């Protein structure tokens, strides 16, 4: 366990709009604050491509809007770290926030900006076909249903917006709305009139999904008549089911520590205070009538300004003196995250912008040891892309070297790849496509881990379990570059590969390898294929969960 000896004024758990807003206000007030985010700064809104109702911003993507918030908070001295919080001890004036890697942050105040996760519906066949026809993110998985017919379950804002997004790929969208009308604003659902390929069925309920390897049919009940009908694609092929029926608050970690309502949302007063002194909540995790970016930002600001008073009073009572804010940059993964976000502004004449090269320099300077990026290439298009990408990394810092190997691949089915190496040789991490989009983050973190700098991001106990793995394992992550959930799985497998001599990790962009989609019946990402298909798993997975799966596997 790594105990942080320095004291924070506030630890914000969650890096969505609410958490970022709180960080802006606390940082500007010169308090020492750190934001802990387990996945990607920006929260759920990052998967939204068009935001048009945020005051003062006529049009922006969720990713761009929240990245500006993060940079603003950073400019005021807020610190950031990629970390998964496992426990919060709220019983004393100095609270302790523990992460899964064993790090303990000491703080006077806590802001719970935990957010919410998509709800599952519970229909027959939902667990079986998750990742093989049942999905919860159109941005991540819509492309897999190109030319297909899909059902969208839900009648709220997300269901309408995602249905419209899906028309970029699918032949037909049928919306199943259990109520008599939509539950979002008229201005939102009236957009559907512009999309003739979208059909809406009200007072209709999905009760079952069926098929062999993928969803081939769905059973639908008309709640007005009670009649059950079977939906199949006109061409006889498989169909998709996208579920958008709201979100469940991510409060499991604190459910026995603070007061929640029956639905699991945090109970707060008008100043966002919980029943525990010094603990505040903000954003979608709270009880509220409207869950939008603007209300999350408002919650964060209110929580922060109220917490400011508490911090000042507590410091005076405990005779701690004035707060001493540090402007240190976030370490490792957070730096990598900043670089990843900047990749959205890539110059047209290359992958890396001048800004990105400068930010990579900041990361590479922290490497304790040299890393080598070896491009093993042939004569195909992917090889050319990999070579071009590697050449752009040349000369950024002496701790990162590049090599082009155009001799190893000869003929046959051999695929070009990037091999991440230490000075002693390969660390077992390979990329079979250019790590663009959201995967640029995992690539930078892979370099960071290969240098030896990321060792402490995994607890000593988990490191021992990884080193104890005797059987050889190949972890292949099937991803898309637009998937916001994929980097977490990619980075988890890579950490295991770096620490375990018997484990190798590979990342594939499914758009380049459609044969894997067919072989493993992949209809959603991330998809983790273990040992050539002995296990095929869908959804987010962390280091500890994957290690547990490997420990149970037998040769």
Q: Is the peptide bond before 83 cis (omega within 30 degrees of 0)?
A: no
Question: Cβ distance 88 to 13 under 8 Å?
Answer: yes
**Cβ–Cβ under 8 Å, residues 496 and 547:** yes
What is the predicted pLDDT for the residue at 331?
Answer: 44
Residue 224 tokens read as: 């007005």
Quote the number of domains for the chain: 3
Cα separation, 506 vs 417, in Å, equals 9
The Cα–Cα gap between 292 and 446 comes to 34
78-93 pLDDT, tens per residue? 998 878 899 999 999 9
What count of other Cβ atoms lies within 10 Å of the Cβ of residue 436? 16
Cα R_g (the chain), whole angstroms: 24
Q: Is 24 within 8 Å of 299 (Cβ atoms)?
A: no
Provide the pLDDT confidence category of residue 330 given band limits of 50, 70 and 90.
very low
Top pLDDT among 444 and 195 is at: 195
Quick check: bond before 284 cis, omega within 30?
A: no
| pLDDT at residue 103 greater than cutoff 90 | no
Residue 224 and residue 101 share a domain: no
Question: pLDDT-based confidence at 180, cuts 50/70/90?
Answer: very high
Domain that holds residue 19: 2-114+249-317
DSSP 52: -
- The mean predicted confidence, pLDDT, of the chain is 89
- In angstroms, the CA 481 to CA 23 distance is 29
Residue 192 three-state SS:
helix
Q: What are phi and psi of 545, to 5 degrees?
A: -65, -45
Kind plus residue range of the DSSP H or E element containing 82: strand 79-82
Residue 419 pLDDT grade (very low, low, confident, very high; cuts 50, 70, 90) = very high
| Last residue within a domain, chosen from 283, 317, 351 | 317
Distance between CA 526 and CA 540 in Å, rounded? Answer: 7
Q: What is the pLDDT of residue 15?
A: 95
Q: How far apart are CA 180 and CA 406, in angstroms?
A: 63
pLDDT (average), residues 307-325: 91
Which residues sit opposite 537 in a β-bridge?
528
Does 226 lie in the same domain as 83? no
One domain, residues 213 and 271: no
Residues 206 and 279 in one domain: no
Q: Can you tell me which residue has the tokens 């077992």?
A: 428
279, containing H or E segment: strand 279-281
Alpha helices in 123-260 (DSSP H): 126-129, 138-141, 157-166, 186-189
Helices (H) and strands (E) in the chain, counts: 15, 25
Quick check: 40 and 487 in contact, CB under 8 A?
yes
DSSP states of 513-534: -HHHHHHTT--SS-EEEETTTT
Cβ neighbours of residue 430 closer than 8 Å, sequence gap 6 or more: 417, 418, 419, 420, 504, 505, 506, 507
pLDDT of residue 511: 87
Instruction: Tell me the pLDDT band of 347, cut-offs 50, 70 and 90.
Output: very low
The dihedral through the CA atoms of 41, 498, 530, 461 has a sign that is negative
- pLDDT score of 526 more than 80: yes
Confirm whether 167 is domain-assigned.
yes
DSSP letter string, 246-260: -EEE--GGGTTTS-B
In terms of average pLDDT, the best of 25-39, 99-113, 117-131, 205-219 is 205-219
- 70-76 average pLDDT score: 90
Q: Residue 456's pLDDT band (boundaries 50, 70, 90)?
A: low
- Residue that is written with structure tokens 């502004």 in the block: 345
Q: What is the pLDDT of residue 40?
A: 76
The predicted structure's pLDDT at residue 413: 67
Residue that is last in its domain, among 212, 243, 274: 243
- Judge whether 265 and 286 are in contact, CB under 8 Å: yes
**pLDDT of 97:** 96
Q: In sequence order, what are the residues at sequence separation of 6 or more whose Cβ sits closer than 8 angstroms to the Cβ of residue 38? A: 82, 83, 84, 85, 488
pLDDT at 176 over 70: yes
Q: Are residues 139 and 91 in the same domain?
A: no
pLDDT at 349: 52
Q: Could you give the 3-state DSSP secondary structure of residue 425?
A: strand
CATH number at residue 542: 3.40.30.80
Picking from 301, 362, 319, 426, the residue whose alpha carbon sits closest to that of residue 22 is: 301
Does residue 177 have a pLDDT over 80? Answer: yes
Q: Is residue 310 in some structural domain?
A: yes
> What is the pLDDT, as a whole number, of residue 3?
61
| Virtual torsion, Cα 386, 390, 391, 393, nearest 10 deg | 150
Do 399 and 530 fall into the same domain?
yes
Per-residue HEC secondary structure of 86-138 comes to EEEECCCCCEEEEECCCEEEEEEEEEECCCEEECCCCCECHHHHECCCEECCH
Taking the C-alpha atoms of residue 23 and residue 35, their distance in angstroms, rounded to an integer, is 7
Which residue from 242, 264, 308, 330 is spatially nearest to 108, judged by alpha carbons?
A: 308
Q: Is the pLDDT of residue 334 over 60?
A: no
In this prediction, residues 207-214 reach a mean pLDDT of 95
Q: Among residues 317, 344, 366, which one ends one of the domains?
A: 317
With H, G, I as helix, E, B as strand and everything else as coil, classify residue 85. Answer: strand
Residues forming a β-bridge with 199: 174
pLDDT at 337 over 60: no
Task: Check if the beta carbon of residue 135 is closer than 8 Å to that of residue 523.
Answer: yes
| Whether residue 333 has pLDDT greater than 50 | no
Res 271 pLDDT > 70: yes
How many Å apart are CA 267 and CA 247, to the nearest integer?
Answer: 17
User: Is the pLDDT assigned to residue 279 strictly greater than 70?
Assistant: yes
With pLDDT > 70 as the criterion, what percentage of the chain qualifies? 93
Q: Is residue 326 part of a domain?
A: no
Which bin fits 353, alpha (ψ -120 to 50), beta or left (φ > 0)?
Answer: beta
Using a pLDDT cut of 90, give the percent of the chain over it: 66
Residue 346 has pLDDT above 60, yes or no: no
Mean pLDDT in residue range 235-261? 94
Per-residue pLDDT, 4: 60
User: Are both 468 and 533 inside the same structural domain?
Assistant: yes
Across 203-246, where does the E strand assignment appear? 204-210, 217-222, 228-231, 239-243
**328 part of a folded domain:** no
Tokens describing residue 451:
């240098």
227: domain CATH number is 3.50.50.60
* Dihedral sign from CA coordinates of 299, 304, 305, 310: positive
pLDDT of residue 316: 93
Residue 175 lies in a domain: yes
User: What's the confidence (pLDDT) of residue 33?
Assistant: 96
Mean pLDDT, range 452-465, rounded to an integer: 79
Tell me if residue 511 falls in helix, strand or coil. coil
Whether residue 407 is found in the same domain as residue 542:
yes
Residue 52 pLDDT > 90, yes or no?
Answer: no
Judgement on whether residues 378 and 428 belong to the same structural domain of the protein: yes
Average pLDDT over residues 282-288: 95
The pair of structure tokens assigned to 172 is 């037909």
- Between CA 490 and CA 281 the distance in angstroms is 31
What mean pLDDT comes out for the span 419-442? 91
Looking at residue 354, what is its pLDDT? 79
Residue 120 lies in a domain: no
Residues 232 and 260 in one domain: no
**With contact defined as beta carbons under 8 Å apart, do 470 and 553 qualify?**
no
- The string of pLDDT tens digits covering residues 388-408 is 999 999 889 999 999 999 888
Name which residue leads in pLDDT, 65 or 63: 65
**Residue of higher predicted confidence among 466 and 39:** 466
Instruction: With 0.95 as the threshold, say if the pTM is over it.
Output: no
- In terms of domains, do 302 and 268 share one? yes
Has residue 327 been placed in a domain? Answer: no
Q: Is 119 contained in some domain?
A: no
> Do 100 and 169 lie in a common domain?
no
What's the confidence (pLDDT) of residue 336? 46
**Rounded mean pLDDT of 289-308?**
94
Helical pair 439-450 and 333-342, crossing angle rounded to 10 deg: 140
- Between CA 344 and CA 104 the distance in angstroms is 33
pLDDT per residue over 350-362, tens digit each?
788 877 788 788 8
């Amino acid at each position: 366990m790594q105990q942080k000896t320095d004291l924070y004024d506030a630890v914000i758990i969650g890096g969505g709009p609410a958490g970022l807003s709180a960080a802006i206000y606390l940082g500007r007030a010169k308090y020492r604050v750190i934001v802990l985010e387990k996945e990607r700064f920006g929260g759920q809104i990052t998967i939204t491509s068009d935001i048009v109702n945020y005051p003062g911003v006529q049009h922006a993507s969720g990713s761009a809007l929240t990245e500006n918030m993060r940079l603003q908070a950073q400019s005021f001295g807020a610190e950031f770290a990629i970390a998964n919080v496992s426990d919060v001890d709220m019983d004393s004036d100095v609270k302790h926030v523990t992460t899964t890697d064993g790090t303990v942050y000491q703080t006077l105040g806590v802001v719970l900006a935990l957010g919410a996760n998509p709800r599952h519906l519970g229909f027959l066949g939902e667990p079986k076909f998750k990742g093989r026809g049942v999905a919860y993110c159109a941005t991540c998985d819509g492309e897999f249903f190109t030319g297909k017919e899909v059902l969208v379950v839900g009648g709220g804002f997300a269901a309408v917006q995602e249905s419209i997004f899906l028309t970029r790929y699918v032949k037909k969208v049928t919306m199943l709305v259990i109520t008599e009308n939509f539950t979002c604003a008229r201005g939102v659902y009236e957009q559907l009139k512009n999309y003739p390929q979208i059909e809406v069925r009200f007072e209709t309920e999905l009760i079952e999904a069926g098929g062999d390897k993928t969803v081939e049919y769905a059973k639908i009940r008309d709640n007005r008549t009670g009649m059950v009908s079977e939906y199949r694609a006109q061409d006889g092929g498989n169909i998709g089911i996208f579920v958008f029926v709201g979100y469940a608050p991510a409060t499991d970690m604190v459910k026995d520590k603070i007061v929640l309502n029956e639905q699991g949302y945090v109970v707060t007063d008008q100043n966002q205070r919980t029943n525990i002194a010094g603990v505040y909540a903000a954003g979608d995790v709270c009880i509220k009538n409207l869950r939008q970016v603007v209300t999350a930002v408002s919650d964060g600001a209110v929580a922060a300004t109220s917490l400011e008073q508490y911090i000042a009073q507590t410091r005076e009572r405990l005779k701690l003196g004035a707060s001493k804010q540090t402007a240190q940059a976030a370490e490792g993964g957070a730096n990598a995250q900043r670089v990843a976000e900047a990749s959205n502004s890539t110059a047209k004449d290359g992958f890396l912008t001048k800004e990105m090269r400068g930010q990579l320099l900041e990361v590479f300077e922290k490497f304790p040891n040299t890393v080598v990026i070896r491009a093993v290439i042939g004569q195909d298009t992917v090889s050319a892309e990999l070579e071009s990408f590697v050449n752009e990394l040349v000369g950024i810092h002496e701790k990162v070297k590049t090599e082009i190997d155009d001799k190893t691949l000869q003929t046959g089915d051999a695929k070009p790849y990037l091999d991440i190496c230490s000075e002693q040789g390969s660390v077992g991490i390979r990329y079979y496509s250019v790590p663009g989009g959201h995967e640029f983050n995992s690539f930078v973190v892979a370099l960071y881990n290969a240098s030896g700098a990321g060792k402490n991001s995994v607890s000593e106990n988990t490191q021992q379990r990884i080193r104890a793995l005797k059987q050889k394992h190949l972890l292949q992550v099937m991803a898309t570059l637009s998937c916001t959930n994929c980097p977490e799985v990619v980075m988890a497998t890579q950490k295991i590969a770096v620490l375990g001599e018997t484990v190798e990790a590979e990342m594939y962009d499914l758009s380049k390898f459609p044969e894997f989609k067919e072989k493993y019946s992949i209809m959603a990402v991330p998809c983790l294929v273990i040992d050539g298909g002995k296990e095929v798993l869908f959804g987010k997975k962390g280091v500890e969960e994957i290690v547990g799966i490997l420990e149970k596997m037998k040769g």
